[in-house]
Amino acid sequence: MAPGVTSEEKEKHGQASKDSFIHISNPHLEKMKEDVLYHFALGTGTHDFPALFGDIKFVCVGGSPSRMKAFITYMAGELGMASPGCDYPNICAGTDRYAMYKVGPVLSVSHGMGIPSIAIMLHELIKLLYHSKCSDVTIVRIGTSGGIGLEPGSVVITSQSVDATFKPQFEQVILGKSVIRSTDFDDELAKELMECSKEIEQFSTVIGNTMCTLDFYEGQGRLDGVICSYTEEEKLQYLNAAYDAGVRNIEMESSVFAAICNLSGVKGNSEFLNPWFHL
């Protein structure tokens, strides 16, 4: 879309030192008296961030608000922090843009569908962690996706997020100009997640590339959208080419998730259960 693609940010990536604190790549923030996280209905002027969030070590994000509530309820049980009849209040009750839940060191946040929706959430989430003075934070995106060439019910841990042309990059448009950002995920975290999967022995799990598209219907080769100009053969050709490029699943948020984690010095990865299948 936009002209003047530059690759300068490709080089920047990797320079964000992997110390334990959150990096803010915005010199303007230090000059602001108050930071309002509009889409969370939270602000540094109205909420004590270190007291509310300072102990967070793990953030799990996913599309659906109700699933993220179910997840925190499950986590409370796993951590031995559940109490009978206990409900988990939505920390972002002042808005219906996103939902947020917390139990102990775990935060669970919904992000809606698509790159723009998760990007707004991530900008405000990373600022929340920064203002809360959190350290050693790991963020995992969990969710469902469409699998390619895998057994039903298997899990994909993402090594790289690739775009619709199978390139491991995210195009960020800044003031009308296009900048390319890296979409590699943290290797170590991928291996740790794989170890967890082996211990649990409940899911067939692979580490592979995740294709991130801007569209669910035409963008992923579906034949049942309101607009479709290709044949089933053309769809299969495309998905086979994706498989050959190492793609094992398709979803709509991983590329900007990787890009923002990389620029903020946060360990991040995506892990998907594949309930439906393209191939």
Does 66 sit near a copy of itself (CB under 8 A)? yes
Which residues are 182's β-sheet partners?
169
Pairing of strands 138-147, 58-62: parallel
Q: Is 222 annotated as a binding residue?
A: yes
- Is residue 205 within 8 A of residue 155, CB to CB? The reply is yes
Among 71, 91, 127, 156, binds a copy of itself (CB under 8 A): 127
Does 89 sit near a copy of itself (CB under 8 A)? no
Report d(CA 172, CA 181) in Å as an integer. Answer: 7
Q: How far is the CB of 196 from a copy of itself (least distance, A)?
A: 28
Does 250 sit near a copy of itself (CB under 8 A)? no
Does 93 sit near a copy of itself (CB under 8 A)? no
Hey, what are 8's tokens? 């300068």
Task: List phi, psi (to 5°) of 209.
Answer: -85, 145
Does 249 sit near a copy of itself (CB under 8 A)? no
Task: Compare residues 174 and 196 and give the one whose CB is closer to a copy of itself.
Answer: 174
Task: Compare residues 188 and 225 and give the one whose CB is closer to a copy of itself.
Answer: 225
Among 6, 18, 29, 152, binds a copy of itself (CB under 8 A): 29
Q: How far is the CB of 197 from a copy of itself (least distance, A)?
A: 27
Hey, what are 226's tokens? 């309101």
What Cα–Cα distance (Å) separates residue 264 from each residue in 1, 129, 166? 26, 11, 24
Q: Which among 18, 57, 183, 190 is positioned nearest to 115, based on CA atoms?
A: 183
Report d(CA 182, CA 10) in Å as an integer. Answer: 6
Place of tokens 């992000």: 111
Task: List phi, psi (to 5°) of 270.
Answer: -120, 140
Q: How far is the CB of 32 from a copy of itself (least distance, A)?
A: 7
Among 6, 135, 165, 204, binds a copy of itself (CB under 8 A): 165
Among 21, 43, 105, 166, binds a copy of itself (CB under 8 A): 166
Residue 22 is given by DSSP the state: P
Q: Helix, strand or coil for residue 212? A: strand
Does 147 sit near a copy of itself (CB under 8 A)? no
Q: Is 44 annotated as a binding residue?
A: no
Which residues within the stretch 190-229 sit at the binding site for a copy of itself (CB under 8 A)? Answer: 213-219, 221, 223-229
Q: What's the number of CA atoms in the CB half-sphere (13 Å) around residue 65?
A: 14
Among 15, 28, 198, 233, binds a copy of itself (CB under 8 A): 28
Place of tokens 């939902």: 99
Binding-site positions for substrate read 220, 222
Binding-site positions for phosphate read 97, 141-144
* Interacting residue ranges for a copy of itself, rule: CB under 8 A: 1-3, 24-29, 32, 35, 63-66, 96-97, 112-117, 119-120, 122-124, 126-127, 130, 163-166, 171-176, 213-219, 221, 223-230, 232, 234-235, 238, 241, 252, 260, 263-264
